[in-house]
Amino acid sequence: MDCNGVGYHVNISLNTYSKLEPLVKAKIYTYLHVTETSQSLYGFADEEEKMIFSLLISVSGVGPNTGRVILSYMTKEEIKSSIVHGDVAALNRVKGIGPKTAQRIILDLKDKMIKVAGDQPDLANTSAHGITDEALSALMALGFPKAGVEKHIKAILSKQPLIGNVEDLIKAVLKSMR
Given this model, what pLDDT does residue 53 score?
Answer: 94
Dihedral sign, CA of 27, 96, 52, 130? positive
Q: Which residues contact 137 (CB under 8 A, 6 or more apart)?
A: none
Contact between 11 and 41 (Cβ < 8 Å): yes
pLDDT digits (tens, 9 = 90+) for 21-41: 888 888 999 999 999 999 999
pLDDT digits (tens, 9 = 90+) for 104-128: 999 999 888 877 665 454 444 444 5
Report how far residue 139's alpha carbon sits from residue 128's, in angstroms, rounded to the nearest whole number: 16
Instruction: Give 41's DSSP letter.
Output: E
Report how far residue 29's alpha carbon sits from residue 13's, in angstroms, rounded to the nearest whole number: 12
- With 0.75 as the threshold, say if the pTM is over it: no
Q: Which of 108-112, 150-154, 157-161 has the lowest mean pLDDT?
A: 157-161
* Secondary structure of residue 147 in the 3-state scheme: helix
pLDDT digits (tens, 9 = 90+) for 64-98: 999 999 999 998 888 998 898 888 888 988 988 99
**Torsion angle, CA of 40/3/53/14, rounded to 10 degrees?**
-100
Pairing relation of β-strands 39-44 and 10-12?
Answer: parallel
Domains and CATH numbers, the chain: 2-117 (1.10.150.20), 121-176 (1.10.8)
pLDDT exceeds 60 at position 158: yes
Report how far residue 3's alpha carbon sits from residue 43's, in angstroms, rounded to the nearest whole number: 13
